[in-house]
């Protein structure tokens, strides 16, 4: 997989959020979207994300979501960081016994913060 496409109302806002979450940079900007990705650019092990502007109404939750892992801190510290940059807790029916945290980005797209730390 080389790219993920995420339709959104405000590509600039989501680009800033996801660049901060993933330590990505803006790779390309077009009239209707922004491509973000790893500092090494397109074609590496990590996919780029194209945030494509749309005014279409949301039809329900995404059928795909991101799972993220902290690389330099534990889950609690990463949760604090993500909440500080605009994530918010999301309830998708979890029991409270899960090892992950469910969050939503500024447009309400759910993602999970996993416990395992990647190095």
Query: Over the stretch 33-76, which tens digit does the pLDDT of each residue have?
Result: 999 999 887 777 788 999 999 888 777 666 778 899 998 999 99
CA distances from residue 39 to 3, 18, 95, 107, 119 in whole angstroms, order as listed: 15, 13, 37, 24, 17
Give the three-class secondary structure for 19: helix
Query: What would be the CATH architecture of the domain defined by 1-54?
Result: Roll (3.10)
Parts of the chain belonging to CATH 3.30.720: 65-119
Q: Let me know if domain 65-119 sits in CATH 3.30.720.
A: yes
Give the three-class secondary structure for 59: coil
**Among residues 76, 73, 18, which one has the least CA distance to residue 47?**
18
CA distance 35 to 90: 26
Q: What is the pLDDT of residue 75?
A: 94
Q: What is the pLDDT of residue 43?
A: 73
31 compared with 119, residue with greater pLDDT: 31
**Among residues 57, 70, 71, which one has the least CA distance to residue 108?**
57
Residues 6+ apart with CB under 8 A from 15: 26, 34, 36, 51
Give the three-class secondary structure for 40: coil
Parts of the chain belonging to CATH 3.10.180.10: 1-54
Whether the Cβ atoms of residue 24 and residue 68 lie closer than 8 Å to each other: no
Residue 1 has pLDDT above 70, yes or no: no
Q: What is the pLDDT of residue 14?
A: 95
Rg of the chain in Å (alpha carbons): 14
């Amino acid at each position: 997989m080389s790219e993920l496409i995420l339709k959104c109302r405000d590509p600039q806002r989501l680009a800033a959020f996801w660049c901060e979450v993933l330590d990505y940079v803006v790779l390309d900007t077009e009239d209707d979207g922004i491509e973000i990705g790893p500092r090494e650019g397109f074609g590496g092990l990590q996919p780029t994300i194209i945030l494509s502007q749309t005014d279409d109404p949301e039809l329900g939750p995404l059928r795909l979501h991101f799972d993220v892992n902290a690389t330099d801190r534990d889950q609690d510290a990463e949760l604090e960081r993500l909440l500080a940059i605009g994530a918010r807790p999301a309830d998708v029916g979890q029991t409270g016994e899960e090892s992950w945290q469910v969050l939503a980005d500024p447009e309400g797209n759910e993602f999970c913060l996993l416990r395992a730390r990647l190095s």
